[in-house]
Amino acid sequence: MGDQKRRAGIYLIGLMISVSVAGCGTDQIHTEQAAQVPKQLSGKIVSEVSEVSPSAPAGDDKEITAVETRRFYSGPPHHSPPPVGNKIAYLTFDDGPSNSTRKILHILKTNGVTATFFVIGTETSEGKSLYKEIAAEGHALGNHTYSHDYNRIYKSPEAFIKDASRLDRLLEETVGFRPEILRFPGGSNNQVSRKSGGRGVMSKVTAKVKEQGYQYFDWNVSSTDAAAPVQDKDMIIDSVLSASKGKKRIIVLMHDNTYKTTTLEALPVVIRKLKAAGFRFDKLQKSSFTFQFLEP
Ligand SMILES: [Zn+2]
């Protein structure tokens, strides 16, 4: 009798938890705010569950529901998946630093978004400051080769590594670490490389890069901002949104380039719409989801 009452009570609490969790799922909230939601939730859920758990009968289905809910939401905030779905967007900016870098950083900061910059080599003090600012603001720095010169880098796997290592050394001097992540100029399946390295050079280069300890990232969503010198702003927005549909992990290709002003104009809208579509944002690291046109 009393047992039944208790089970009903546990079930009710379980239900309340489910309802409160579901209520947060559709919020279009900024990442900064989102990070705090699980913390608040976990505190509440843990205390509610701990009130009933000690006396709850073993082997009861309702109890399992409550305990599983607690396990799911009691982790540290930055490890907690969002309440509904788990879609991640990795925004990537190639070819910087440029005069647009600070503007991109400002937009990312304003929107509470972390991203990845695949940079090239520059020895200017401004360029070095920008490497530092990218890292200091918590974004990932990735290797996009020092020269970005197709004729030079795709001559052979050794030539590629020589050029990429030069950027690694520069970044190590400037920001204190060597990137483990890399993006090939033109992508891992580019055809331009054949001119200097012959057919099949990309298979050798991708294998060499893996052997050297890098992970490389192509993209599964193109912003199309490289398809024209200054791409139409709405075209950028529409391209990202339509290519993101039906995907849970997206690596979005964009460019950090002084002249690509529409990328900057589109960026806040892209972020807002991806958030509305249920994506959270993260930076790439070696162990992240990757998308490769050509696998080694
Ligand atoms: Zn590039």
pLDDT at residue 52, rounded to an integer: 29
Alpha carbons 24 and 73: distance in angstroms, whole number:
13
Which residue has tokens 């950083």? 105
Lowest mean per-residue pLDDT among 52-61, 226-235, 266-275: 52-61
The verdict on 131 and 271 lying in the same domain is yes
Q: Looking at the chain, how many residues does it have?
A: 296
Ligand 1 centre from 272 Cα, in Å?
A: 25
Q: What per-residue string of b and e applies to 28-63 under the rule 16 or more CB within 10 Å gives b?
A: ebeeeebeebbeebbeebeebbeebeeebeeeeebb
The verdict on 63 and 159 lying in the same domain is no
> Residue 289: inside a domain, yes or no?
no
* Domain membership of residue 74 as a residue range: 2-79
Tokens standing for 85?
């779905």
Helix (H) or strand (E) holding 253: strand 249-255
The verdict on 28 and 168 lying in the same domain is no
> Residue 290: inside a domain, yes or no?
no
Total of domains in the chain: 2
pLDDT at residue 296, rounded to an integer: 74
Ligand 1 centre from 263 Cα, in Å?
A: 15
DSSP 5: H
Ligand 1 centre from 185 Cα, in Å?
A: 4
218 alpha carbon, distance to own chain's centre: 13
Mean of pLDDT over the chain: 80
Domain limit, last residue, from 52, 79, 106: 79
Domain limit, last residue, from 79, 101, 127: 79
Ligand 1 centre from 206 Cα, in Å?
A: 16
Ligand 1 centre from 242 Cα, in Å?
A: 23
The verdict on 69 and 106 lying in the same domain is no
Ligand 1 centre from 96 Cα, in Å?
A: 9
Ligand 1 centre from 150 Cα, in Å?
A: 10
The verdict on 194 and 154 lying in the same domain is yes
pLDDT at residue 21, rounded to an integer: 36
> Residue 11: inside a domain, yes or no?
yes
Tokens standing for 20?
């409160």
Ligand 1 centre from 119 Cα, in Å?
A: 8
Domain limit, last residue, from 79, 102, 121: 79
